[in-house]
Structure formats: structure tokens, C-alpha cells
């Protein structure tokens, strides 16, 4: 049975009763009522302060709604749908590189990531005060919990900094204190490079304060761990050229990243799940492969999706602990499914997977993470298990079979009676750590070790057999025979071209890549293992900023050709040509520019 989620924040404040015709000297404030002055003076309430910071990840500007679009839509693994163009155009604009500062998704994400920063700073301030000696810091047990809570709050502040800079660049405000109001609300941008140094220190400090590597099976399951902090620290070192405003191409810190990743690997605390699909379902959450997850549960006490009033979602994504990802980014809005289906896997991604001599995909990860031809079945509204051809049927769907797909990751393989999902969003997992370590090995001259770590990830894919996938959705499917993927050496010797997209007229839209080197094998493995998990755009920008990569100039080709690929897949046009200087970051939201006179736009504004 799924554990009750622990990250429920307390909303605190003084309640003032306004009464008329009362004695002038009457005291209207109840001295026994909770207030900020008397609330944070117990271990329990200080723990709630940290829990409240976790809760910010579950908001609409976090992973409850907008973050999956913010992280995935700009990559070449994503295509927007006609449903998005007609009913959710701002998600389509993220994919089209036509974003402007007025988009609600941008302002909500900007706001909620700063709310996360505020909540983390508040928790740290209250812990530092340790009011009424709530923690006896001379007591080992108390000190351990105190340090752990500080480590969690510092980690969450690091997350806020990481995602804010990744999306908007580093010319934005930053605080390591609780805002005092007034003029402080109009804080000017930090000095260039300052936020990068602060986020690195946050993850370093958090990794030292957090001593547990894994809480699987305990009451603290899902909290940040030492591994969580180190994983994001390695991301910072590898992504320095796009996270540090003072850095340039070639400034990634491979040596530091490698040392951090070695700590994670040598801990022995993590491993790959036998079943690839366990990394994106409600079963086996917070497992040995997961480094950090945003915790969700299907909280049906909040208002869910109402087909008669589709815009009525505020209480769902603000007060509940549900995620909208399944409703908007999974199966199609066909007669049998009826979901919104605002984005789908691209043809470039579909063609990234290795095939046999007859052209059939041999990598089970394609079928375990997407609704595609010859793939799993879906339990539709009729009560029937539907193959791909029936799931994508009716209306205009028939004409686009083989080009229109669904994302099976984070999707229940059936229609829910109440479209509220409690599937945790995995921010980072151990398979990514292994591939990051392989990349660091390549950059430090150890190609043999790099191949070994790529092979570890491929081995798990090769071992995904029917015995591990016992749901009716996968019953009888040939893709679970196992053992069809070649080794890394065999893959390079076979040198297939993957990711190529050819138009109906025979023109090459996306050239794809011939896998004839270990570096190219690694890029391929990143894509087929981690697709639609939020890291593809980040990786493309890193690789483009790596002068050691002989393919660096090609890393932007699929983004530059995205309009043609979008038209080929959907007939929908309007995607602008990707420009690195303009489209690396998203524009500073107009809500910030109009309320903060000390702020200015960035290159995307």
C-alpha cells in the first residue's frame, strides 16, 4: 500500500477578530492561539517548517502542472499536439520557441520557485533560532535530527536556485534570508556568477549535513538524502557553462563532478531496478534507483478534473497533492481515452531506438515508456484493452498512425474514474548517475570505463522480460523477450543511424546520428534511457558548450529544424528557428518586470 505523503505544510498566522461596540481596551488577540512568535518552538513544529518547503514542489508552478512542460517542451524529444494549439497554446509556445513574458506558466513557475526559496530560508531561520531550546544540541539524537532538517532545507534552497537559473539565467534576485518586505521586495539581480556559487555551496553543505543515503522503507522515505544533494551538485559542475553567468564554453568541471559521482557509486546505496517501468509508476516509488522524487498522492478531497468546466483546476494543483501530468501528457484525447494530450514524443525520439533488420524496435524501453505501434494495450472507457491502432482511432487519428504517440511514463494504462494522479515525479535517478559518470570518464581520458558504465544501463534494458511486467497491458508482447540489444562494442561496430526523420517526400528533416564512437553511444543511451524526464534540453546545451565534443555544432540541429519536424508529424506549423543566444533561457516574466523596478529583461525578453 502506498505510504501517506509526509510533506504537508502548515499555514500559520494570527487570527484577529474584529468586533464592533466593544470595550476600547479589550484585547482581541487570543494569547493561546498559534502565531509565528509561539509556534516554531518545538521539534515537531520546526519539522513542519521544513515540510512546508517540500510542499512548494507540489504547486502548479512546480511539478503539479507546469514543470513537466517547462523541462520537456523545449527539447527535440517533444512535439506539441493540435489539442495544445487549440486549448493550451502556451505549452505549444514553449515548444515553438515563441514564448513571451506574459505566459502564465512562466510567471507561475518563477513565483513558485521563489516561494520555495522563501520557505527554505524561513525553515533555516527558525531552526537557527531554536526557540525555547526545542532541540537540545548537546543531545546526539536531537543534534542529528536538527542537522538533517537543516540539510533538507539547504538542499531545497539549492533546488530553487538551480531551476530558476536554468530557466531564466542568473541575472535575477537571490536571497539567503527571509525577505523583510518593503524595499526588499524590489531586490535587483544578483551579481553574475553569484547564484551559481551559492547553489554549489548549498548542495555541498546539504551533502555534509545529510548523512543518510536512502530512506527506502522507513517513515522518512522520500526526504532528501546525501545522494540527492550530491547528484544535483554533479549536475551543477557538469552544467556550469549554462548555469554560471561568468563561465564560458569549456568551463564544465569534469574532475569535481567525477569525484562527486564516485561518492554516490561507491556508497553502494543505489542500484538499477530490475523493471525499467518501475521508475515512472505509482508502484515502487522512492526505490533504490530514485535519487529524489516530488511526492504526490491522489488527494480526492480536492476538486479534480471536471470535463464540463475544464478550467476549474485551481484547488487541484494548489491545495491538493495531485499532479496533472498524466491528464495532459500521456494518452490521446480520443473517444476511448479522453485525456487532454497536449504533448507527445517526437518522431526524432521514436526513431532514436535501435531496430532489427525488419525495422522493428528492439529496445523494450520504447514500449515501456511510450504508447506506440506494436506496444502495450490501454484499458479504454469501453472496458476493453485496446492496442495502439484502436487507442489512436477516430476522427483525424487514423490518418496519423505511426506518427502520433503517447507518453506512457507517469501514466496509468487505463482511464481513471477521477483524473487525479498521485504518481511521484522522479527528478533524478541512479541510471542518470551512471551515464553522467561515463561522460566524466570520457572527458578525463578513460574511455574503457565509460563503456562499462554505459553497458550497465543497457544490461538492465536487455533484462526487461515478461516476468517483470505482469500487467495485462503488456501481456503477450514480443518486446519482453529480452536479450536483443547489442553490447556497446557491437553497437559501435554496427554503427546504425538513429534519430533520423525523413519527410513523406523523401527529404531529410533530421539527419540523425551514426553511432560509431563511444561518445555517440553515450548520447544515444542518455536519450533512450531518460527521455521525457526533463534532462534532454539541459544535456543538449551542455554538449553544445563542450569544445572537446567533435559533434558540438550539430547539437542544435534538431532544435533548428524543429518546425519542419513538427509539420511532418502533425501538420502544425509556427515553430521559430532556435537561436542559442535568445532561446537558451526563458524571458523574465512581465509580472516581475512590472512590480520590481530594479529588474530588467534578459536576452529572451
Residue 209 has pLDDT above 90, yes or no: yes
Helix H or strand E segment including 282: none
d(CA 380, CA 423): 20
Q: Encode pLDDT of 403-441 as tens digits.
A: 999 999 999 999 987 778 999 999 999 999 999 999 999
d(CA 590, CA 104): 10
Residue linked to cell 532556435: 578
> How many of the other CB atoms lie within 10 Å of CB of 433?
22
Q: Encode pLDDT of 551-583 as tens digits.
A: 999 999 999 999 999 999 999 999 999 999 999
Backbone torsions φ then ψ of 425, nearest 5 degrees = -90, 120
Q: What pLDDT does 21 receive? A: 32
C-alpha cell at 408: 506512457
pLDDT-derived band at 302 (thresholds 50, 70, 90) equals: low
d(CA 71, CA 95): 10
Q: Encode pLDDT of 278-298 as tens digits.
A: 999 999 999 999 999 999 988
Residue 311 has pLDDT above 90, yes or no: no
Q: What pLDDT does 3 receive? A: 47
Q: At what angle do helices 104-129 and 43-55 cross, to 10 degrees?
A: 160
C-alpha cell at 85: 494549439
Q: What pLDDT does 395 receive? A: 80
d(CA 350, CA 531): 10
Q: Encode pLDDT of 250-285 as tens digits.
A: 999 999 999 999 999 999 999 999 999 999 999 999
Q: What pLDDT does 8 receive? A: 43
Share of the chain above pLDDT 70, in %: 90
pLDDT-derived band at 11 (thresholds 50, 70, 90) equals: very low
Mean pLDDT of 311-332: 73
Mean pLDDT of 149-159: 98
Domain ranges of the chain: 38-293+322-595
Under 8 Å CB-to-CB from 228, ≥6 apart: which residues? 155, 206, 210, 291, 292, 428
Residue 490 has pLDDT above 70, yes or no: yes
Mean pLDDT of 453-476: 94
Higher pLDDT, 35 or 54: 54
Mean residue pLDDT across the chain: 91
Beta-bridged to residue 385, according to DSSP, are 379
pLDDT-derived band at 33 (thresholds 50, 70, 90) equals: low
Taking alpha carbons only, the member of 275, 301, 308, 309 closest to residue 289 is: 275
Q: Encode pLDDT of 70-116 as tens digits.
A: 999 999 999 999 999 998 899 999 999 999 999 999 999 999 999 99
Mean pLDDT of 123-139: 96
Q: What pLDDT does 10 receive? A: 41
Is the pTM above the cut of 0.75?
yes
DSSP state of 187: P
Q: What pLDDT does 299 receive? A: 74
Residue 318 has pLDDT above 70, yes or no: no
pLDDT-derived band at 38 (thresholds 50, 70, 90) equals: confident
Mean pLDDT of 56-61: 94
Question: How far apart, in Å, are the Cα atoms of 170 and each of 3, 108, 195, 476?
Answer: 38, 18, 6, 51
Q: What pLDDT does 303 receive? A: 57
- What is 38-293+322-595's CATH number? 1.25.40.390
DSSP state of 208: H
The length of the chain is 605
Burial class of residue 226 in the structure, from the number of CB atoms within 10 Å of its CB (0-12 exposed, 13-18 middle, 19+ buried): buried
Residue 22 has pLDDT above 90, yes or no: no
Residue 25 has pLDDT above 70, yes or no: no
Q: Encode pLDDT of 541-552 as tens digits.
A: 999 999 999 999
Residue 371 has pLDDT above 70, yes or no: yes
C-alpha cell at 142: 536531537
Taking alpha carbons only, the member of 59, 68, 61 closest to residue 410 is: 68
Mean pLDDT of 188-208: 98
The beta-carbon contacts of 43-48 under 8 Å, at least 24 apart in sequence, are: 43/134, 43/135, 43/142, 43/145, 45/10, 45/134, 46/123, 46/126, 46/127, 46/130, 46/134, 46/135, 46/149, 47/145, 47/149, 48/9, 48/10
Amino acid at each position: 500500500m502506498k505510504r501517506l505523503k509526509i510533506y504537508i505544510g502548515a499555514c500559520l498566522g494570527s487570527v484577529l477578530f474584529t468586533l464592533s461596540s466593544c470595550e476600547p481596551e479589550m484585547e482581541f488577540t487570543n494569547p493561546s492561539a498559534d502565531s509565528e512568535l509561539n509556534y516554531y518552538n518545538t521539534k515537531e513544529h520546526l519539522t513542519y517548517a521544513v515540510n512546508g518547503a517540500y510542499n512548494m514542489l507540489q504547486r502548479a508552478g512546480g511539478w503539479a502542472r507546469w514543470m513537466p512542460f517547462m523541462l520537456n517542451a523545449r527539447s527535440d524529444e517533444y512535439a506539441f499536439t493540435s489539442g495544445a494549439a487549440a486549448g493550451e497554446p502556451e505549452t505549444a509556445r514553449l515548444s515553438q520557441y515563441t514564448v513571451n513574458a506574459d505566459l502564465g506558466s512562466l510567471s507561475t513557475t518563477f513565483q513558485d520557485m521563489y516561494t520555495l526559496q522563501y520557505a527554505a530560508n524561513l525553515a533555516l531561520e527558525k531552526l537557527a533560532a531554536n526557540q525555547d531550546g526545542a532541540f537540545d544540541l548537546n543531545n546526539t539524537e536531537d543534534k542529528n535530527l536538527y542537522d538533517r532538517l537543516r540539510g533538507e532545507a539547504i538542499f531545497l534552497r539549492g533546488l530553487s536556485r538551480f531551476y530558476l537559473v536554468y530557466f531564466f539565467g542568473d541575472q535575477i534576485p537571490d536571497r539567503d534570508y527571509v525577505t523583510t518586505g518593503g524595499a526588499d521586495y524590489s531586490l535587483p539581480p544578483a551579481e553574475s556568477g553569484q547564484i551559481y556559487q551559492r547553489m554549489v555551496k548549498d548542495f555541498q553543505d546539504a551533502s555534509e549535513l545529510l548523512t543518510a543515503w536512502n530512506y527506502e522503507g522507513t517513515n522518512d522515505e522520500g526526504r532528501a538524502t546525501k545522494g540527492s544533494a550530491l547528484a544535483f551538485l554533479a549536475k551543477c559542475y557538469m552544467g556550469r557553462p549554462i548555469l554560471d553567468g561568468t563561465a564560458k564554453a569549456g568551463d564544465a568541471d569534469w574532475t569535481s563532478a567525477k569525484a562527486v559521482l564516485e561518492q554516490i557509486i561507491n556508497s553502494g546505496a543505489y542500484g538499477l531496478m530490475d523493471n525499467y517501468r518501475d521508475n515512472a509508476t505509482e508502484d515502487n516509488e522512492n526505490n533504490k534507483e530514485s535519487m529524489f522524487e516530488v511526492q504526490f498522492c491522489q488527494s480526492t478531497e480536492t476538486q479534480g478534473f471536471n470535463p464540463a468546466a475544464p478550467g476549474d483546476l485551481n484547488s487541484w494543483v494548489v491545495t491538493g497533492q495531485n499532479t496533472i501530468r498524466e491528464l495532459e501528457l500521456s494518452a490521446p484525447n480520443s473517444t476511448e481515452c479522453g485525456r487532454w494530450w497536449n504533448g507527445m514524443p517526437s518522431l526524432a525520439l521514436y526513431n532514436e531506438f535501435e531496430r532489427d533488420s525488419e525495422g522493428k524496435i528492439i529496445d523494450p524501453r520504447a514500449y515501456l515508456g511510450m504508447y506506440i505501434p506494436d506496444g502495450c494495450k490501454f484499458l479504454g472507457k469501453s472496458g476493453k484493452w485496446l492496442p495502439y491502432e484502436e487507442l489512436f482511432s477516430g476522427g483525424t487519428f487514423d490518418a496519423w498512425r505511426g506518427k502520433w504517440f503517447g507518453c506512457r511514463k507517469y501514466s496509468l494504462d487505463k482511464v481513471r474514474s477521477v483524473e487525479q494522479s498521485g504518481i511521484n515525479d522522479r527528478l533524478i535517478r541512479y541510471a542518470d548517475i551512471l551515464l553522467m559518470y561515463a561522460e566524466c570518464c570520457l572527458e578525463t581520458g578513460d574511455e574503457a570505463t565509460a563503456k562499462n558504465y554505459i553497458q550497465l544501463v543497457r544490461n538492465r534494458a536487455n533484462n526487461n522480460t515478461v516476468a517483470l511486467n505482469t500487467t495485462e497491458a503488456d501481456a503477450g508482447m514480443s518486446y519482453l523477450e529480452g536479450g536483443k540489444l547489442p553490447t556497446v562494442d557491437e553497437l559501435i561496430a554496427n554503427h546504425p543511424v538513429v534519430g533520423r526523420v525523413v519527410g513523406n517526400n523523401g527529404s531529410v528533416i533530421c539527419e540523425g546520428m551514426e553511432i560509431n564512437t563511444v561518445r555517440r553511444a553515450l548520447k544515444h543511451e542518455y536519450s533512450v534511457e531518460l527521455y521525457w524526464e526533463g534532462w534532454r534540453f539541459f544535456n543538449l546545451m551542455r554538449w553544445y558548450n563542450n569544445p572537446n565534443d567533435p559533434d558540438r555544432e550539430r547539437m542544435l540541429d534538431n532544435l533548428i529544424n524543429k518546425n519542419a519536424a513538427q509539420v511532418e508529424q502533425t501538420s502544425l506549423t509556427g515553430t521559430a528557428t532556435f537561436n542559442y543566444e535568445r532561446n537558451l533561457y526563458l524571458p523574465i516574466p512581465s509580472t516581475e518586470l512590472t512590480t520590481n523596478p530594479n529588474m530588467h529583461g534578459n536576452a529572451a525578453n
